[in-house]
Each structure stands twice: as C-alpha cells, then as structure tokens.
Amino acid sequence: MTSRSPSPKSPCPNCSKAKVSSVYWPELKQILENDPGRFRDLDLECLCYERMSIFDDEHVRDPAMGHYTHGAHVLPCGHIFGEKCLVRMWEYANEADGYFACPACRQALGYHPHCYHDLNSLPIPQSLREIGQFPYFRDNVLVSNKCGDCVMMDEVRNLSSMAQIHLPPMDLKNGEYLGVSINSPDTMWAPSTDPYKADPIIRTMPMSGALKELCEVSRKSLSGNREGVWRSVDFRELVYCLHVFRVSGFPREYT
C-alpha cells in the first residue's frame, strides 16, 4: 500500500502556518482580522534586521535608551518599525533640520494642527479588540486636532474641576487642592499650577459616586478611540486616581 502526500486542498493539520511578516499595517490588519490566531505567527523584522517584539511580555527595555524597547510601532503612514530605531531616527532628524519622513514611503510626518506637536508612532495592537480601538486607515489616516498629551491634559483639567463639584467640602490646608490624574503604564497626566514641573501629590483618596462614573465614561471613550483618529499616544490600560495636590513651591510651613 502506497502512502500519499496530503493534497494541497487538504493541508496536513499538524503543519504549522507560515510566519506573518508584513510590516505594512493595513495589510497586516486584514490578515489578523481574518484569522486572529495569526497573532501567534507574527515575525516582523525591522529595517535594522532585528526582530520586533509584539507582546508586552516580549518587550526588553534597553538600559541605554531609558524605557524604550524594540517593540513594533506603527507610523501614521502605516509602515511598521522598531521603537528604538524610530527614536534614533527622530533624534537624528531633530539634530539636523527637524524634518522626519517614513524610511519606507518617505511620507513626511507632520504635526497635530491645533497644538503643533509632532505625530508619533503607536505600538502595534496585541489583540482583535485592540485592533478595533486603533486608528482607522483609509486613503490617509485621520489625524486628531490635538495630540494625545494635550487631549489628556484637557481631560485632567475637566475632571479635576468636576471633583470640586461632585465631592463634599473637604478640610484642605493652604496651597492644597483636589485633582484627578490619568495614568498609563509609562505616563501620568496630572494637573499642575506650574508649566515646568508637576505639583506634588500629598495623598491619594478613594474615588466614588458621580466622579467615578465620569472617569469611567472618559476611560471608555479615550481607550476605545471612538473617533478612530491618530493621537500619537497609547491610551490603553488607563487608570484614574483622585489626589490632594500641593501647589508647586508653596511653603510647607504654611500648610
């Protein structure tokens, strides 16, 4: 009895799928949406020929570059590069003429029109749910008027003002005030009375009632990216906290 090789139409179920190596997000997105199991097959190579990490537990931080890793990051044009390489390219551009273009398509990466802050890359989604939260790619990605940092600071100021309304009066010392911070794994956005440094946190307080509900609405709106726009900031894993702050430089002896 002769054995036959599996027919091309009936592939061997034990054979592993080919690796997914596309470094153009619209193409990669379609592959992953059609088969979310292909996340396990991602094998993306940066222009430096180093493999880019995809998942949080794969990222290795480079001590020489602060908190940066070689995680896969998407540019507004859709091309994917390692974060460390992008940081080096941006640094080189800033030292030269400040002009930065995608190394693959040479599309100039400009700025957000209302705040004039640069467009930055975003980490590649790690699940089908995160793909749904990622900016939409049409002919051109839709850029938000303000960058994510400015959006966050607006949100922090609004929620901090709501804290004054929705919380009962508190016995605060001179120079102290209530405020809400928004935190991601790498960044904290918090109110400040000094444009050059953060106001110190005196204590953290439990959040409840209407203020907690407002913060949850804010979190869902920001992390869900309902507008599908490019904000240049990763809004995943946001945590909202209520604090008592002290005005920067306020003398301790008067508190």
Share of the chain above pLDDT 70, in %: 88
Q: Write out pLDDT tens, residues 1-17.
A: 333 334 344 444 444 56
Q: How confident is the model at residue 59 (pLDDT cuts 50, 70, 90)?
A: confident
Lookup result for tokens 């953290």: 204
Buried b (16+ CB within 10 A) or exposed e, 72-92: bbbbbbbbbbbbbbbbebbee
**CB-CB contact of 189 with 156 (8 Å):** yes
CATH superfamily placement of domain 25-139? Zinc/RING finger domain, C3HC4 (zinc finger) (3.30.40.10)
C-alpha dist (Å) from residue 138 to 25, 28, 132, 222, 228: 12, 14, 14, 21, 11
pTM over 0.85: no
| Residue carrying structure tokens 């960044």 | 187
Tell me the sheet residues that pair with 183. 188, 239
> What's the confidence (pLDDT) of residue 166?
87
Domain range summary for the chain, segments of one domain joined by + = 25-139, 148-246
| 255 vs 29, residue with greater confidence | 29
Q: Which residue has the tokens 């920067």?
A: 248
Q: What type of residue is 99?
A: Y
